[in-house]
């Protein structure tokens, strides 16, 4: 689990199709590197990777075929480019650590694209498009992770297939957002809270009728067999509303 607050930026190089080596680029990055151990999780441009080896200036992490298929890391290797100039880095959230952004899992939902980036008096207004796999979780003032960065949606289309964010100077300067140009691809992860809400509301509307038996509810949604269906009776029986 991550927070979407970037600790450092680095340079990524593919050793092969199953391993990458990430080099830290600053003294602050060196501090973050000193906290890493074998088996730790690190978000690399929002992608959760597992550390296999640690060196004085870098670390090596495993990359799965799923990661290659579904993230911008695959664009690097499949496009014949075996390195990424800059990647955002964040170590996993530790017990007692500060949660300054939002809960980020490091599991990418889809790849988006920068449409525009415009400097204003106080920030950079950046607009991205995104696939349906992410658009369903995009809402005004909601959270989204772009290359692992926790950002707040300032505006979006009704279906969520494009959205804008206002990026403060600190975030713009100390992440790779400042190095993006229109047309560049980015990793996108929707808010995990939206995913749970989506699943809880997947049951047909009639299933909320408390007069129906559990077996009748299961007949409407067989995939829920074996799960506990939450009804008003269930909540009452377990002490809620008393």
Domains of the chain in start order, with CATH, are 8-91 (2.40.30.20), 110-197 (2.40.30.20), 203-237 (no CATH)
pLDDT at 207: 47
Summarize the confidence of residues 16-40 as an average pLDDT. 79
Q: pLDDT tens-digit profile of 193-207?
A: 888 888 777 766 554
C-beta separation of 166 from 124 below 8 A? yes
pLDDT at 82: 73
Selected residue with higher pLDDT from 20 and 197: 20
* Distance between CA atoms of residues 237 and 41, nearest Å: 41
Which pLDDT value is given to residue 127? 98
User: What is the mean predicted confidence (pLDDT) over 133-157?
Assistant: 95
Count CB atoms within 10 A of the CB of residue 96.
5
Structure tokens given for 129: 């498009």
Helix (H, G, I), strand (E, B), or coil: what is residue 99? coil
Report how far residue 103's alpha carbon sits from residue 173's, in angstroms, rounded to the nearest whole number: 23
Is residue 106's pLDDT more than 50? yes
For the cut 60, the answer to whether the pLDDT of residue 226 exceeds it is no
Q: Is the pLDDT of residue 166 over 70?
A: yes
C-alpha 232/C-alpha 104 separation (Å) is 32
Q: What count of residues does the chain have?
A: 242
Could you tell me which residues are beta bridge partners of residue 233? none
Tokens of 49: 């990777």
Tokens read off for 53:
């080896």
pLDDT for residue 233 is more than 80: no
Report residue 17's pLDDT band, with 50, 70 and 90 as the boundaries. confident
Q: What is the pLDDT of residue 196?
A: 85
Residue whose structure tokens are 């992410």: 134
Indicate the helix (H) or strand (E) that contains 129: strand 124-129
Q: Map tokens 């509307």 to a residue.
A: 205
In this predicted structure, which of 22-26, 99-103, 232-236 has the lowest mean pLDDT?
A: 232-236
* pLDDT at residue 205, rounded to an integer: 55
What is the mean predicted confidence (pLDDT) over 180-203?
88
pLDDT confidence bin for 234, thresholds 50/70/90: low
Cα(69)–Cα(181) distance, integer angstroms: 23
Confidence (pTM)? 0.80
pLDDT at 19 over 60: yes
3-state secondary structure of 80: coil
Dig out the tokens for 116 from the structure: 């525009």
- Residue 219 CB contacts under 8 Å (≥ 6 apart), including other chains: none
46-94 tens-digit pLDDT: 999 999 999 988 999 999 999 999 999 988 777 777 767 799 999 887 7
């Amino acid at each position: 689990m991550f927070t979407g607050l970037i600790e450092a930026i680095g340079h990524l190089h593919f050793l092969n199709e199953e391993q990458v080596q990430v080099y830290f680029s600053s003294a602050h990055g060196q501090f973050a590197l000193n906290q890493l151990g074998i088996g730790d999780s690190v978000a690399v441009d929002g992608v959760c990777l597992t550390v296999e080896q640690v060196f004085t200036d870098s670390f090596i992490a495993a990359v799965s075929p799923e990661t290659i298929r579904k993230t911008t890391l695959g664009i690097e290797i499949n496009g014949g480019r075996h390195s990424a100039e800059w990647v955002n880095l964040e170590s996993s959230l530790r017990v007692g650590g500060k949660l300054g952004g939002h809960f980020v899992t490091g599991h990418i939902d889809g790849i988006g694209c920068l449409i525009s980036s415009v400097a204003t008096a106080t920030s950079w207004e950046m607009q991205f498009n995104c696939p349906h796999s992410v658009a369903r979780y995009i809402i005004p003032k909601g959270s989204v992770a772009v290359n692992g960065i926790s950002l707040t949606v300032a505006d979006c289309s009704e279906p969520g297939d494009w959205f804008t964010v206002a990026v403060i100077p600190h975030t713009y300067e100390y992440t790779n957002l400042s190095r993006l140009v229109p047309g560049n691809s980015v990793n996108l992860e929707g808010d995990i809270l939206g995913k749970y809400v989506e699943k809880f509301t997947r049951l047909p509307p009639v299933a909320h009728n408390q007069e129906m038996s559990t077996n009748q509810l299961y007949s409407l949604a067989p995939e829920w067999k074996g799960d506990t269906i939450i009804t008003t009776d269930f909540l009452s029986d377990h002490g809620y509303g008393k």
